[in-house]
Structure 1
């Protein structure tokens, strides 16, 4: 019988997952599948955590839903308190929704409204600046903010034209020969400054960027000093800084917030994936106190709301996940196992003829593939290398998730894979991940006769 589900590929029905425990999923055919990417860097605590399940059940028994226009809940208050305190109060309010795209939409709208709430309103601020080839979500506002060609292409006529894009901080391809990190940062900051001036320096609401670029580039961290320089440009022109930590935040890079490592506090931060670890759909935005104070002295009303905003079950799942990360000292494990994963990836792949770059932070690592290591020439998009690697990993003899993405170089050309194992991963499990990844890559390349 054909499936009634609109799957991601209408011509292919995926195998059903029927259970999960720790970093493994069980499939309908009995395959024990190693979830080495946590889905899309989501399942940060693995599957079937009984303590988290129980907290969610307790919330269901107490209250499953109430509309935030009418009532609040204690669980949403507790989650907000925990997360705002984790920023030292610099980000003083939390707004909870259900997906990363929704969080980005809310962040963009809040940035715009902030300028309307100022004592002297600035209604001319209608623009945003982002980076190529960034990915910030699939809804029209978030997609318009992103700069990923393949994802934007079919919907270009529908997208708002109020976002422009500058170069990413992508040292592997962006730094010039002999250029220092400091000089590279200066050049990128100058490019952003020039873009502010080109579009009208007082027309920009915010600059939006991922601290560590996820799916679009494959776990690319900025070079030291980049975000401090970028924030200085934003402050020069009175624009906000939005850091999109949907993928890289909530402990994924070794600190609860990725920006902690640069000590550059955003005005608005989006969070998702690792917030609830996949135990319920949940995301949110953390909001700088100056924005909160401005809103409070203005209308006091964020003119944006959603039916499932602050959903009690989602908040319970997020609170349970965040408490578990704290109580089980899992950030320390991310740091320790992250260092081990890096060392094993470099040992296995640094000299591989088709692996151009290995990069990442914490338990968030990517490998970029090239046809020629000297010229950094990517594979022909027709090869679909990253797709073949991902599909090969799904086969029972490998049974490992390898998050393959195309478009690394310019949104169309280039291939990378992402590895993002759960924060509970062990050395033995990392050894398996690296060994099976090597087998998958070798077999795919052999089939391509490379």
Structure 2
């Protein structure tokens, strides 16, 4: 999130509206493997793949060749008029990757667009039923979730800091329940089964409160990314949540924009949860950053309702099914499959976890280390025993991210871990091609960064 800057700080000259208008970032001029090369000669280790995007790293010649080949054929055509071989091939690859459990794909450009499409499809499904249910206008998500930055996606999320400036503009048809966040939500002595049961009761009660006949869907991330810092659910949680949805005829949406497409060790995160969604969002690792691309995978039960109804999804984007984006995504996914990179995600993920625990597990200000695959988070606390977070005025997440840049690594840091305002976490999500040697650099540098930032806070 943007951080307030002292008003006396001069504005640099740039025609581009950067994320922080008081700061012009260094320019990236090249990249290869896990590294980005900067204009000042710095060799920068991309230890987060941007925002868990660059799954193949940078400069992959096969992907570049696939993009060029598609550009030589056709770079754009409107899907209202034409289709392309590459979009059909990508869709078939993705459907096959689910074992046919999800039968159609809708391709767009960004995670927010994918979530918007998922919400609208959920609504239209209930309008297309043989006995339509137009009263279903509500969604239930979790605190402090983040599902995207457009108004619809932001509205279905529950992240206070991200929502706050736009609250008067957001839909009021979403309500929120607690996340499955064992570090902060699970009671002392409470078993996983009891914790799951308690959360299932909470979701059931929320259905009852808003009227179960009014709910379109429940939406959640299998492993919570930016909002909480790589928090996986405890065993049995997602089957229990889906059972509540099925009890009341609502849809079950899994947002895998950040945690999916191999990031957690299986191509789809839900494969590890023993549950199949009605709608799944995908993005980030889908195209690995080589082109803007995202999408939704759709359960055949929904597809059949649309086919027997109007047959028309009343939603569209100018760049949906963009040929170059589809070519990039297809090339990325073929490389991940053919080179067995998911095995490396699991192996290097286990190594990353062990090294993080060895180096930082006893750190007095590292409250929790959690994650899956190559998707790991550190929650930072002022007091390890009480789990008290640092003060928001300390701007800890911002300082860690800035210090990481000075040390040549990316540390994806965010505030709001505890309640959407307080609390800080760091995400580490290197490319799927990362080596042990690079993980050693990432973990060792992270430890140095934490020590320097925390020492600076202590002395201020």
Q: Hey, what does 1:444 align to over in structure 2? A: 453
Pairs within 5 Å for 1:411-450: 411-449=420-458
RMSD of the alignment, in Å?
A: 0.6
Gaps of 5+ in 1: none
- How far did 1:44 drift? 0.6
Aligned: 1:45 with 2:56:
yes
User: What are the Cα deviations for residues 408-442 of structure 1, in whole angstroms up to 9, with x where unaligned?
Assistant: 00000000000000000000110010011111111
* Among candidates 408, 431, 438, match of residue 417 of structure 2: 408
Aligned: 1:118 with 2:118:
no
User: What are the Cα deviations for residues 209-267 of structure 1, in whole angstroms up to 9, with x where unaligned?
Assistant: 00000000000000000000000000000000000000000000000000000120000
Q: In structure 1, how many angstroms separate the alpha carbons of the residues matched to 2:277 and 2:105?
A: 14
Q: In structure 1, how many angstroms separate the alpha carbons of the residues matched to 2:111 and 2:454?
A: 34
Q: In structure 2, how many angstroms separate the alpha carbons of the residues matched to 1:222 and 1:83?
A: 25
Pairs within 5 Å for 1:51-450: 51-395=62-406, 398-449=407-458
Q: In structure 1, how many angstroms separate the alpha carbons of the residues matched to 2:24 and 2:273?
A: 43
Q: In structure 1, how many angstroms separate the alpha carbons of the residues matched to 2:268 and 2:185?
A: 25
Q: In structure 1, how many angstroms separate the alpha carbons of the residues matched to 2:46 and 2:99?
A: 34
Q: In structure 2, how many angstroms separate the alpha carbons of the residues matched to 1:296 and 1:449?
A: 63
User: What are the Cα deviations for residues 159-196 of structure 1, in whole angstroms up to 9, with x where unaligned?
Assistant: 01000000000000000010000000000000000000
* Among candidates 14, 18, 24, match of residue 25 of structure 2: 14
- How far did 1:301 drift? 0.0
- How far did 1:88 drift? 1.0
Name the SS for the 1:352 alignment partner: coil
Q: In structure 1, how many angstroms separate the alpha carbons of the residues matched to 2:96 and 2:216?
A: 26
Q: In structure 2, how many angstroms separate the alpha carbons of the residues matched to 1:121 and 1:101?
A: 27
Q: In structure 1, how many angstroms separate the alpha carbons of the residues matched to 2:207 and 2:458?
A: 48
- How far did 1:114 drift? 0.1
Q: In structure 2, how many angstroms separate the alpha carbons of the residues matched to 1:284 and 1:299?
A: 22
Q: In structure 1, how many angstroms separate the alpha carbons of the residues matched to 2:273 and 2:231?
A: 15
Q: In structure 2, how many angstroms separate the alpha carbons of the residues matched to 1:161 and 1:82?
A: 37
Q: Hey, what does 2:6 align to over in structure 1? A: none
Name the SS for the 1:202 alignment partner: helix
- How far did 1:105 drift? 0.2
Q: In structure 2, how many angstroms separate the alpha carbons of the residues matched to 1:196 and 1:71?
A: 42
User: What are the Cα deviations for residues 97-156 of structure 1, in whole angstroms up to 9, with x where unaligned?
Assistant: 000000000000000000000000000000000000000000000000000000000000
Q: Hey, what does 2:3 align to over in structure 1? A: none
- How far did 1:351 drift? 0.3
- How far did 1:448 drift? 1.2
Q: In structure 2, how many angstroms separate the alpha carbons of the residues matched to 1:447 and 1:90?
A: 52
- How far did 1:446 drift? 1.2
Q: In structure 2, how many angstroms separate the alpha carbons of the residues matched to 1:331 and 1:113?
A: 35
Q: In structure 1, how many angstroms separate the alpha carbons of the residues matched to 2:457 and 2:219?
A: 39
- How far did 1:447 drift? 1.1
- Following TM superposition, the consecutive aligned residue runs of length 4 or more in structure 1 with deviations greater than 6 angstroms are none
- How far did 1:277 drift? 0.2
Q: In structure 2, how many angstroms separate the alpha carbons of the residues matched to 1:128 and 1:413?
A: 25
- How far did 1:449 drift? 1.9
Q: In structure 1, how many angstroms separate the alpha carbons of the residues matched to 2:246 and 2:38?
A: 51
Q: In structure 2, how many angstroms separate the alpha carbons of the residues matched to 1:6 and 1:319?
A: 32
Q: Hey, what does 2:7 align to over in structure 1? A: none
User: What are the Cα deviations for residues 358-413 of structure 1, in whole angstroms up to 9, with x where unaligned?
Assistant: 00000000000000011000000000111100000111xx1000000000000000
